[in-house]
Structure 1
Amino acid sequence: MDEMMAAVKTCFNKYAEFKGRADRAEFWWFALFQFVVLAIIGMVSHVLYGIACLALLLPALAVGARRLHDIGKSGWFLLIGLIPFVGWLVLIYFFVQPSGPANEYGGQMAAPDAPTVMPGPQ
């Protein structure tokens, strides 16, 4: 839960920042947050749902562009999502890719500490 809150806080702190990089976890935690918030608000009121959609649109576009930067693609690739069905599939494919090496958008993202599944020889 701390990781989700950190990702959401980062996305709101970088509300309209399209420069830099966002790792996979930051993007997907914010997407989950956005889905849950919009689902709950949508059950309450259609007017509030519209306001929430507008409020979350810019940070969603910004984190999407930063996520594409993380894999070495331009943020303009978000426009592929305008192509019905196929565009969303291509974007999802891009969004699930692991972080790439350092590129023109910034240095390499720090890899999270992976838990040891099997201890090595001692």
Structure 2
Amino acid sequence: MYQAPPVYQAQPEHQAPPVYQQQPYPGQQPYVEQQPYAAPQYAPQYAPLPSPGPGGIFDGAFHAGELGRPLYGANPVQAVARFFKNYANFSGRASRSEFWWVGLFYFVAFIVVGMIAGVIESLSYSSSYYSGSDPVSMFLMLVIVVAFLGSIVPSLALGWRRMHDANLSGALYLLNLVPYVGGLVVFVFTLLGPRPEGRRFDRIER
């Protein structure tokens, strides 16, 4: 009797060996795949402010006669002239050059007048100059006192405007009245550079 040939079963294909994962030791945390680091974020870079001058973001004066704006880079003559023309003006701004040239002018002027008064006062005690020198000495002392009193208001106005140029309240200049510390604080404020925001203190000329 015919018998069917035996059926051979296909051998299974070669299988990859199982992957064994290393078990953590007792007390050891299982390994966790770390996420890639994100690129660092940097703060936006701001362009430095340009040098102050006529017009521009600082809205400086174009000539010395333009009293409603600060004159950046003013020379001594321009600074002193603008100081007396803006005698009692507490609005607007004053540049650092305007402020410090006027300060130097008053410093030198008081020293010179004081030295002259001292020399004449010393000569008044000599026999040869005693009769005519004493009135001159008194006159010079009177000039010094009048000049000092006359400089109070314009000096206060100039310092007030210098605070405005640094975008500070002009009233901060009154810190000079505080003994010891007040003058030092105001000195630091007068060294600050101009700020474009200080234009809010300018006079509106119509």
TM-score, with length taken from structure 2? 0.49
Moved over 3 A (4+): none
Q: What is the one-letter code of the residue matched to 2:201?
A: Y
The answer for the alignment partner of 2:110 in structure 1 is 38
Aligned partners of 1:42 and 1:48 also within 8 Å? no
1:11 to 71, 78, 83: 83
Which residue of structure 1 lines up, in the alignment, with residue 95 of structure 2?
23
Amino acid at match of 1:25: S
CA RMSD in angstroms, aligned pairs only = 1.6
Q: Which runs of 5+ in 2 are unaligned?
A: 1-73, 118-139
1:58 is paired with a residue of what secondary structure?
helix
1:70-96 residue CA offsets vs partner (Å, 9 max, x unmatched):
111111112211111110100000000
- Is 1:106 the counterpart of 2:202? The answer is yes
Q: Report how many residues are paired.
A: 106
Which structure is higher in helix share? 1
Please, which runs of 5 or more residues in structure 1 have no aligned partner?
Answer: 108-122
Q: Could you say which residue in structure 1 is the equivalent of 2:147? A: 52
Identity of aligned residues (%): 39
Which deviates more from structure 2 when the two are superposed, residues 6-15 or residues 75-84? 75-84
Query: 184, 189, 194: which one pairs with 1:89?
Result: 184
- 1:42 shift after superposition: 2.3
Could you tell me how far apart the structure 1 residues matched to 2:144 and 2:114 are?
A: 5
- The whole-number CA distance in structure 2 between the counterparts of 1:7 and 1:85 is 28
The Cα offsets for residues 38-94 of structure 1, whole Å up to 9 and x where unpaired, read as: 222223232221111012211111110000011111111122111111101000000
What TM-score, normalized by structure 1, do the two folds share? 0.80
CA distance in 1, matches of 2:99, 2:108: 14
| 1:64 to 2:159 alignment | yes
Q: Secondary structure at the match of 2:91?
A: coil
